[in-house]
Structure 1
Amino acid sequence: MKNSIDIKARSPWTSLSNVKSIILSPNDKKIDGTVTIPGSKSLTNRALIMSALADGGSKITGILKSDDSYWCIDSLKNLGINMDILQDTAFINGNGGKWDSGSLYIGAAGTIARFLPGVLALSTKGEWKIEASSSMNKRPVSSLVNTLNELGCDIQCIDQEGYYPLSIKGKKIIGGNVSLSGKISSQFISGLLIAAPLAKKSITINIEDYIVQHSYVLLTLQLMEQFGASVEYDNDLTKIVVHPSQYTPQNIALEADASTACYFLALAALTNGKIRIDNLTYETEQPDIKMVDILEQMGCTVTKGATFIELEGTAQLKGGFEISMRALSDQTPTLAALAPFADDPITINDVEHIRYHESDRIRVMSESLTKLGIRVEEFKDGLKIYPGKPKSTLLHTYDDHRVAMSLALIGTRIEGIELDDPGCVSKTCPNYFELLENLGVNIQKESNL
């Protein structure tokens, strides 16, 4: 599998733009530190779009400044939204969804690729062409596009049916009943939900199978309610009703990104160190926080404070279990990176949908671990990883931030792990390697120059 890099998709917020690769090495000193995690990517883009749909000024504190949020902000500005960014705070003057027509580029931002089509298509008028990165163009969106068109929207796939780029015409939609699958991505459901209040009458969404990441849909609904939307749902989320309503301006503070926090908790687990996350608690609704439970199962000690979460590692990680990672599938590469250091094999399943993310994450992690000399069995919906001692080698990151951040963890235990294109982490956490260095991880940068 080739390591494909789409430089155009990198934003001005990208770090390490001139770094070809990095080499990681363990530190003799025990890792023991406190980390402040950047804001949640998922909540940032949801809040930015809902603020733009509101009529008036909102203030969003704790936004994540990454590639994905940059392209969200850039798109909203190109749609006519006045917005100022001051450090980690966004001041948004929403216009009730009265968008300017034009062309938009969204990079590789999966959330924006799923959230923008609906809010544009359900607006009163306007025409747009939305282009994306080469990797985003390979990720299917037919489920969302077909459902929106079933409601009466006008969305066309320009080059290949079911994929970006898209052509959209704004068309006020009456409402109705639709069925939608959640087994490929919960973001399809969230994209329809965020747009639904713009319809003239209620939209009822029936989930025809299951939702791979149920909690992210709950996060969407809760934030919609906070912004004044009228919704009805139960905890099963098999049927959701969204009534016509106007988003209202809000002043809110976003919590830290639980997905990013997990890499640092995993760092403590892997090195028998101690890490405290000082701006996130176990009580968050973000599903990836449940990675803490897996790390406890592997022998780590966790302290769940009122304002923090702390994890202390163990001299020998425990394996010998099989686990469904469906609800927290973004952490599959993280667990896969830890598994070689456990005392027995670990089997991960129920994550077939991650084959359609920035990379085929099942295949990529299998190939990477095999290259490291680790025995791996790959399945349609997961993989089984056996204990072993990884060897020093160059690993590809496949322009996938989660692959890069997970494989970097191996370099905190094994001398001479080299990662190409480390700058891809800017999609989620531009200062990831800087934070690792601050905790004592040795990182050598190889320049492109």
Structure 2
Amino acid sequence: MILISKENTIIKDKLQITGSKSESNRLLLLNQLFQNALTLENVSNSEDSQLMAKALANTSDLIDIHHAGTAMRFLTAFYSIQEGRSVTLTGSDRMKQRPIGVLVDALNQLGADITYLENQGFPPLKINGKKITTSSITIPANVSSQYISALMLIGTQLENGLTIILEGKIISVPYIQMTIQLLNKIGVKAEMNGQEIKVEYTPKIESNILQVESDWSSASYFYSLIALSPNSEVTISTYFEDSLQGDSALQTIYKDHFGVESTFDNGKLTLKNIPDFNYSDVITLDLNNTPDIAQTIATTCVGLGLKCHLTGLETLKIKETDRLIALQNELTKFGAIVVITEDSLTIKGYNIFEETPILATYNDHRMAMCMAPLAVKYPIKIENEMVVEKSYPTFWEDWKQLGFAIKNL
């Protein structure tokens, strides 16, 4: 457990942020599929991406990806097309509680050979790699975009290509678009028209050097920090205004609702306060396309004493923890009156709180990081703080550089 606090609330600094975990994991898999034709720069140093790279290099028949959810989904698809190879794909206890049935059903319908070793619909999995020739699959659209992206990535290697038909309301569209744009960037023809995605068979690609943009989800904590710190400014690298990442919506959300302005200069993103900003009585946002920044936004509202109504959060229940329940539990410790449903979070008002909150992290990196900006307002204690290694290993070092006092308890 750590105690984190800050005496001077004005912040002026510059930081380099690690590459996007989402982009890195897609590109690591594509590089493996295309015999290392890509040279990748600024790859994420997150634990998730390290586990992904380690698994791809592992030649044994047991692959343990611990609690890396993206790796579990992408590797399930990857190993299903490795002809002649059989693997057991497993993970942490929490990973064994995270559903994967929709993806496994889709792959098996395409012709894969995947079975469950413990509970139906959940890891661990036994995967016998096969040649897949079926070229079309229909799946529900309201599932994790990682299932859809996993299918798209291996579609590049199916000799008849792959058409994915999505039924119902599509969620997390920007992550699907990210996969399409990365495929296009390396020379794969892929497109999305309405409810249909098509990926063309691509036996080989040209050698290419790609720079992974820094992680916009990680940037969210700096947006929150500036929102809570009047007369402050921070510059973070490497970010681009026309990002592939859906969470770059932070630019608009934090400008319109929290008075944080974004300016770009050759890959450097500077965040600063808009003077005399007027806040809304209630902040209402549909975060269907950007669920990973919901925790940060809710916490920013608490730091500013604002009411909010956040919707489009159905996927938060199947993340590292049930993030809706976790947010309700922890934000209540700051006096917030929080109401949750299956897909929404509402802060209706505030009660007075006095003692220094002790915040649980639920083995969820984003629960630890989204709470940290509140320390600019009052001292807080955070349990299991090293869970941040999953996506942002240098988080606490960067926070110290910004002038926060962090004490181990």
Instruction: Flag whether TM exceeds 0.5 (same fold).
Output: yes
1:71 is aligned with what amino acid? L
- Report what 2:370 is aligned to: 406
- Report what 2:90 is aligned to: 131
Per-residue deviation, residues 136-155 of structure 1 (Å, max 9, x unmatched):
11110111000000111101
Deviation, 1:299, is 4.0
2:389 is aligned with what amino acid? S
Would the aligned equivalents of 2:328 and 2:339 in 1 still touch at CA under 8 Å?
yes
Would the aligned equivalents of 1:317 and 1:343 in 2 still touch at CA under 8 Å?
no
From 63, 73, 81, the counterpart of 2:43: 63
- Report what 2:223 is aligned to: 265
- Report what 1:47 is aligned to: 27
1 CA distance for matches of 2:278 and 2:399? 21
Would the aligned equivalents of 1:270 and 1:317 in 2 still touch at CA under 8 Å?
no
Per-residue deviation, residues 109-130 of structure 1 (Å, max 9, x unmatched):
1111111111211232210101
Per-residue deviation, residues 7-60 of structure 1 (Å, max 9, x unmatched):
xxxxxxxxxxxxxx1111122251111221111101111111111111354321
Deviation, 1:377, is 1.5
Deviates more, 1:215-224 or 1:418-427: 215-224
1:311 maps onto 2:255 in alignment? no
- Report what 2:157 is aligned to: 198
- Report what 1:423 is aligned to: 386
* Mapping for residues 294-373 of structure 1, pairs under 5 Å: 294-307=253-266, 308-313=268-273, 318-319=279-280, 320-342=282-304, 344-373=306-335
1:229 is aligned with what amino acid? V
Deviation, 1:302, is 1.0
1:430 is aligned with what amino acid? P
1:425 is aligned with what amino acid? V
* Mapping for residues 265-284 of structure 1, pairs under 5 Å: 265-272=223-230, 273-284=232-243
Residues matched between the structures, number: 402
Would the aligned equivalents of 1:259 and 1:288 in 2 still touch at CA under 8 Å?
yes
- Seen in structure 2, the aligned counterparts of structure 1 residues 33 and 292 have a Cα distance that, compared at 3 Å, is same
Secondary structure class of the residue paired with 1:210: coil
2 CA distance for matches of 1:425 and 1:316? 32
2 CA distance for matches of 1:145 and 1:152? 11
Deviation, 1:247, is 4.1
Q: Which runs of 5+ in 1 are unaligned?
A: 1-20, 80-100
Aligned identity (percent) is: 27
- Report what 1:215 is aligned to: 174
2 CA distance for matches of 1:203 and 1:335? 37
1 CA distance for matches of 2:407 and 2:204? 48
* Mapping for residues 138-217 of structure 1, pairs under 5 Å: 138-217=97-176
Deviates more, 1:310-319 or 1:152-161: 310-319
2 CA distance for matches of 1:247 and 1:262? 37
Deviation, 1:387, is 4.8
Secondary structure class of the residue paired with 2:183: helix
Deviation, 1:202, is 2.5
Would the aligned equivalents of 2:135 and 2:158 in 1 still touch at CA under 8 Å?
no
- Report what 2:399 is aligned to: 436
Q: Under a length normalisation based on structure 2, what TM-score does the superposition of the two structures give?
A: 0.93
Secondary structure class of the residue paired with 1:298: helix
Deviation, 1:373, is 2.2
Deviation, 1:342, is 3.4
From 340, 344, 358, the counterpart of 1:378: 340
2 CA distance for matches of 1:75 and 1:300? 42
Would the aligned equivalents of 1:114 and 1:187 in 2 still touch at CA under 8 Å?
yes
Deviation, 1:214, is 0.8
Q: Under a length normalisation based on structure 1, what TM-score does the superposition of the two structures give?
A: 0.85
- Seen in structure 2, the aligned counterparts of structure 1 residues 28 and 335 have a Cα distance that, compared at 3 Å, is same
Secondary structure class of the residue paired with 2:325: helix
Secondary structure class of the residue paired with 2:18: coil
From 241, 255, 258, the counterpart of 2:198: 241
Deviation, 1:401, is 0.5
Per-residue deviation, residues 56-92 of structure 1 (Å, max 9, x unmatched):
543211011121011111111113xxxxxxxxxxxxx
Would the aligned equivalents of 1:185 and 1:211 in 2 still touch at CA under 8 Å?
no
Would the aligned equivalents of 1:318 and 1:343 in 2 still touch at CA under 8 Å?
no
- Seen in structure 2, the aligned counterparts of structure 1 residues 278 and 170 have a Cα distance that, compared at 3 Å, is closer
2 CA distance for matches of 1:138 and 1:304? 41
